[in-house]
Amino acid sequence: MATGINEEGINGYPIEIQALFYFALRCAKQMLRTERDSKGFIERIEKRITDLSCNIGWLSHS
């Protein structure tokens, strides 16, 4: 049965690396203050979190 995951993980990156990056982004978002200067960073972090959650989110449902 094929799961869509090969030895390179998803999108060519190992799943472990993607999971670490996902949680690092979540921590970074928590650490940034919601000031005018950091608003662009927070928006970019939220977009990457959304993109990554599509790739690794199914792991918690299996």
| pLDDT tens digits along 16-30 | 888 888 889 989 988
| 10 in any annotated domain | no
- Chain-wide mean pLDDT for the chain? 75
Q: Which structural domain, as residue segments, surrounds residue 25?
A: 16-61
Find the radius of gyration of the CA atoms of the chain.
14
C-alpha 2/C-alpha 53 separation (Å) is 21
Please tell me the total count of domains within the chain: 1
Length of the chain: 62
| pLDDT tens per residue, range 39-50 | 888 999 999 888
Domain-located, residue 33: yes
Q: What are phi and psi of 7, to 5 degrees?
A: -65, -15
In a domain, residue 24? The reply is yes
Q: Does this model's pTM top 0.75?
A: no
Instruction: Please indicate, yes or no, if residue 54 is contained in any of the structural domains.
Output: yes
Domain-located, residue 49: yes
